[in-house]
Amino acid sequence: MRCDDNAGDAPNYEPNSFGGPLENPAYKEPPLKISGDADRYDQPIVDDDYVQPGNLFRLMPADAQERLVTNMAGSLKKVPKFIQERMVAHLYKADKAYGDGVAKRLGLA
């Protein structure tokens, strides 16, 4: 068990925007024989990651959407602007009203 500060408040995940650790391919698990090679494979990029969150947002009543937008903007005010912009870009992909609402509250609109 670690007894030091475990890198303090530095990020311990990848990817990150603050120079945190990177994956080291030297520690990659070797392929496992089953009936052929089992290995890690990159998934194809399919742009449907935003369908579910967009549908959920649109299912919410207007007052719930307002609370969500307000809470998201309140949390994002604490992070650097470039991260705010990245997050708002994700929200736009889910639903335009969601992105617009958060962007407006952050002064990005």
Asked if residue 99 belongs to a domain, the reply is: yes
Q: Which domain holds residue 83?
A: 69-109
Token readout for 49 is 């990651």
Burial, 100: exposed, middle or buried (Cβ in 10 Å; 0-12, 13-18, 19+)? middle
The helix or strand, by DSSP H or E, that contains position 106, with its residue range, turns out to be helix 96-106
pLDDT for the residue 3: 73
Please check the confidence at residue 37 and state whether its pLDDT lies above 90.
Answer: no
Q: How many domains does the chain have?
A: 1
Asked if residue 19 belongs to a domain, the reply is: no
pLDDT in tens, 39-79: 888 877 776 889 999 999 999 999 999 999 999 999 999 99
Residues in the chain: 109
